[in-house]
Structure 1
């Protein structure tokens, strides 16, 4: 079996059997391609069926000089998944990554913004042009609903259920969930649709896409990054932020105001409560207040 053929089959498995998004599939693929590049650079010829743990160790030792432990751990995880697939398909018996030690990494707490930071960021949006109105609407929607950037740019007009107070979100693995939307975000969307979007002619395939660029196509992930980066520069924000920062901030602010962790889990679309629990570590003050307020021996 050639690497190219194995990777192609693996991509189909991730997409169809596991229902992973294109971005996730691409990420898994890049890990395997890094391994192939290492073999090519060192003139090593071996198939994915015959590769052994010693060669994997050589590869990890080589990339460890270039990347941090967190990235190493992610690549090892990606390779382990690939070889598990080959075992599942009965191409192999053993996983050559089983004996690898994953680098120890601390739990990385998400960056968050205060409510004042959020207000300052949104206030810096220039509303004198149509893109400003759109940008305010999309950022308010992202923060109001705790959306991933991929969920924001794929949001459709037909996903809006304002009478019920929800929007429909297509999350990781094409899993659908319904998320409550704040009345302010709902109002901004209504204004944007009525005064801005209605004057844009959508290109074919984007007729139902909510947020459009000036050419009638959907926005890219990079565009959302640029919008936030420019706003952060305008208010001289001394933090490195990304679209995910708004999602982290949304969850942290809900927790600070007394929301139940499992409710936050459902809104964010986390499969496991352990993923949501990271926000508990962000705000230990909240935990202290909960104990002092509700403990029977207070």
Structure 2
């Protein structure tokens, strides 16, 4: 079947992204969101040529998503008969502004690439702005809740003790769960208390650091692990295979439910960042530890400390208190 002009350019764009060694997750996000946008252009405006796309079409697409809701735009019409999106509980449910902004960002990347390739006379995304979103307060986990969570794991069983140590190391290092589960024993440097993370989101190796408390726990865990497994993986299954993210998320969720705590691995990463900053850490170092692409990304993600936490931090740094001004 012959490709339309826009479909040809999309295929070319995806090949260019692959050559840059972008992650499968990023490639999938580009392909899914852009195919939906192309289907909208064809279905609603009968547009298949790149030069006919205007800024107004993108703004109308945003309004269309806001009005119509989830799963109302499909890449291929026959997929409706196969997947039956209308039977989903969240069919036509409002698409979040965060999701729409992701779509808009991907559309902008695509058209900016077309401009760089010299295929555009006029770039329709030049003046397209993202939707303003309300920042949600990231839920913190206090020391009591964290200790209570750890106590839900059965330390006498390998998988229980393993899950406890994973939870501890996420809180101590700020690693992503996928990075953590891919670690091998030889990645740990006990002398300098640091771990080389190789399977990263941006494909750039980096070091994370762990405390003396974590060092003692890790050494004890490695002795325990050697009795049950024969693999270089740091946190394997009992069958010596890679523990999946979904499996750990499920086990962590179950542990949290036992104490009435909604918990997810990324929450623990956020909690690490929160307490790192509250304990006097700086954004630049935190950005390096978290593996963010820039300090700006880190600042945008973690500027939303609660009023109470900001108040406590202020009391430690009040100029008047430091000066000891008498009244």
Report what 2:89 is aligned to: none
Number of residue equivalences: 290
Q: State the Cα distance separating 1:146 from its structure 2 match.
A: 0.5
Distance in 1, matches of 2:265 and 2:66, equals 29
Distance in 2, matches of 1:179 and 1:124, equals 26
Report the secondary structure of 1:212's partner residue.
coil
Report what 1:175 is aligned to: 204
Report what 2:132 is aligned to: 104
Q: Which has the larger radius of gyration?
A: 2
Q: 1:201 to 1:44 in 2, by over 3 A?
A: farther
Query: Residue 280 of structure 1 contacts residue 287 of structure 1 at CA under 8 Å; is this kept in 2?
Result: no
Q: TM-score, normalised by structure 2?
A: 0.77
Report what 1:196 is aligned to: 225
Report what 1:228 is aligned to: 252
Match of 1:243 among 260, 265, 272: 265
Question: Which consecutive aligned stretches of 4+ in structure 1 deviate over 6 angstroms post-superposition?
Answer: none
Report what 2:302 is aligned to: 279
Query: Residue 51 of structure 2 contacts residue 122 of structure 2 at CA under 8 Å; is this kept in 1?
Result: no
Root-mean-square deviation over aligned CA pairs: 2.8
Distance in 2, matches of 1:194 and 1:3, equals 58
Report the secondary structure of 1:191's partner residue.
helix
- Farther-moved stretch of structure 1 (69-78 vs 33-42): 33-42
Report what 1:91 is aligned to: 119
1:214 has 2:238 as partner? yes
Q: TM-score, normalised by structure 1?
A: 0.84
Q: 1:175 to 1:292 in 2, by over 3 A?
A: same
1:202-256 per-residue CA deviation (whole Å, 9 max, x = no partner) reads 5xxxxx432222333212222232122111101112xx43211101111111222
Query: Residue 47 of structure 2 contacts residue 53 of structure 2 at CA under 8 Å; is this kept in 1?
Result: no
Q: State the Cα distance separating 1:257 from its structure 2 match.
A: 2.2
Q: Name which structure has the greater RCO, CA cutoff 8 Å, separation 6+.
A: 1
Following superposition of structure 1 onto structure 2, how do residues 156-171 of structure 1 map, counting pairs within 5 Å?
156-170=184-198, 171=200
